[in-house]
C-alpha cells in the first residue's frame, strides 16, 4: 500500500480506509442531519436507529428553514468508528435526507442544551440552591415558597454537573431539550 502513497489515517478524502478495522472502542459523535420537513421524516430516522440497533443519546429536531421546508435533526450517538460510519451512510441514503454532518470530526463545533430543573426545599437548602444557580448562571423562571424552577443553557456536561449538585438540595424534576450543535466559523 505504501507504493500508492496513501497518507496513514486519512479517511474521508482517500479511497482507502487505513484505520484499524478491529479498533472497537466506542466514541460519541454529534451528527447534524438536514432533512425535508415532511410527514414521517423523524420516524424514518428513529426507525433506522432502532431497526439497526444503533444508540441515540439525545435527539433534537425543529424546522430551521420555513420557506425551504428544511428541518435540522441533531443526534448524539455512540458506537465504534465503523458503526458511526455505517450510521452516517445509512442516514445519507434516506431519500428526504439532504446532508449529514459529523460535527465531532468536521472541525470545531459548539454544542448547547437547554434544561429546566425543579428544586423543592426550604431553609438552608433553598438558599444553597439559589446560590449555586447564580454560579452556574441559571435563571429562576418560577418560584413558590417551597420551590424554584431554574432554566439553564450550556453544554450537556455543565447541565449534568448542575443536576448532580441540585440532587441533594431537593431536585424533583428535570426537562432537557437535547443537544443543538453548529460548526464554528464559516
Partner 1 sequence: MSRQMTGAKMVVQALKDQGVEVVFGYPGGAVLPIYDEIFQQNDIRHILVRHEQGAVHMAEGYARSTGKPGVVLVTSGPGATNAVTGLTDALMDSIPLVVLTGQVPTFMIGTDGFQEADTVGITRPCTKHNWLAKDTDKLAETLHQAFHVATHGRPGPVLIDIPKDVQFATGTYQGPKQAKVSHYQPKVKGDIEGITDLAAMIERAERPVLYTGGGVINSGPAASQLLRELADATGFPVTSTLMGLGAYPASGKNWIGMLGMHGLYEANLAMHGCDLLINLGARFDDRITGRIADFSPKSKKAHVDIDPSSINKVIHVDLPIVGDVGHVLEDLLKVWKARGRKTNKEALAKWWGQIEQWKLKNCLSYKGSDKTIKPQYALERLEALTKDRDRYVTTEVGQHQMWAAQFLGFEAPNRWMTSGGLGTMGYGLPASIGVQIAHPDSLVINVAGEASWLMNMQEMGTAVQFRAPVKQFILNNERLGMVRQWQQLLHGERYSHSWSESLPDFAKLAEAFGCKGAKVDSPKDLDDAIMAMLDYDGPYILDVLVEKHENCFPMIPSGKPHNEMLLGDASTEGAIQAGGAVLV
The residues of the shown chain that bind partner 1, judged by CB under 8 A, are 1, 4, 15-17, 21, 39-40, 43-44, 47, 51, 82, 85-86, 89-90, 92-96, 98
| Smallest separation, CB 51 to partner 1 (Å) | 5
CB distance 42 to 73 below 8 Å: yes
| Smallest separation, CB 104 to partner 1 (Å) | 18
| Smallest separation, CB 82 to partner 1 (Å) | 6
Give φ, ψ of 142 to 5 degrees.
Answer: -155, 145
Cβ-Cβ contacts under 8 Å for 112 (sequence gap 6 or more): 153, 154, 155, 179, 180, 181
For residues 47 and 168, which CB has a smaller minimum distance to partner 1 in the complex? 47
For residues 73 and 115, which CB has a smaller minimum distance to partner 1 in the complex? 73
For residues 2 and 144, which CB has a smaller minimum distance to partner 1 in the complex? 2
Which region holds residue 107: left if phi is over 0, alpha if psi is between -120 and 50, else beta? left
For residues 51 and 123, which CB has a smaller minimum distance to partner 1 in the complex? 51
| Smallest separation, CB 6 to partner 1 (Å) | 9
Q: What is the Rg, in whole angstroms, of the alpha carbon atoms belonging to the chain?
A: 21
| Smallest separation, CB 85 to partner 1 (Å) | 6
Instruction: Please tell me the distance from the alpha carbon of residue 96 to that of residue 38, in angstroms, as a whole number.
Output: 8
Instruction: Please tell me the distance from the alpha carbon of residue 134 to that of residue 131, in angstroms, as a whole number.
Output: 5
For residues 40 and 185, which CB has a smaller minimum distance to partner 1 in the complex? 40
3 state SS of 133: helix
Amino acid at each position: 500500500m505504501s507504493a500508492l502513497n496513501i497518507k496513514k489515517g486519512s479517511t474521508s478524502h482517500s479511497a482507502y480506509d487505513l484505520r484499524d478495522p478491529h479498533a472497537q472502542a466506542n466514541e460519541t459523535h454529534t451528527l447534524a442531519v438536514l432533512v425535508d420537513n415532511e410527514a414521517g421524516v423523524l420516524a424514518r430516522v428513529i426507525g433506522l436507529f432502532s431497526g439497526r440497533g444503533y444508540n441515540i443519546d439525545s435527539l433534537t429536531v425543529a424546522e430551521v428553514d420555513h420557506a425551504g421546508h428544511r428541518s435540522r435533526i441533531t443526534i448524539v450517538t455512540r458506537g465504534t468508528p465503523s458503526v458511526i460510519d455505517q450510521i452516517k451512510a445509512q442516514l445519507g441514503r434516506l431519500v428526504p435526507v439532504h446532508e449529514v454532518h459529523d460535527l465531532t470530526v468536521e472541525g470545531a463545533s459548539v454544542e448547547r442544551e437547554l434544561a429546566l430543573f425543579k428544586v423543592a426545599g426550604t431553609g438552608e437548602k433553598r438558599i444553597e440552591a439559589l446560590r449555586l444557580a447564580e454560579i452556574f448562571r441559571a435563571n429562576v423562571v418560577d418560584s413558590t415558597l417551597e420551590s424554584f424552577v431554574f432554566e439553564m443553557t450550556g453544554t450537556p456536561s455543565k447541565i449534568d454537573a448542575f443536576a448532580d449538585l441540585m440532587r441533594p438540595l431537593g431536585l424533583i424534576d428535570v426537562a432537557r431539550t437535547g443537544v443543538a450543535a453548529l460548526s464554528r466559523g464559516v
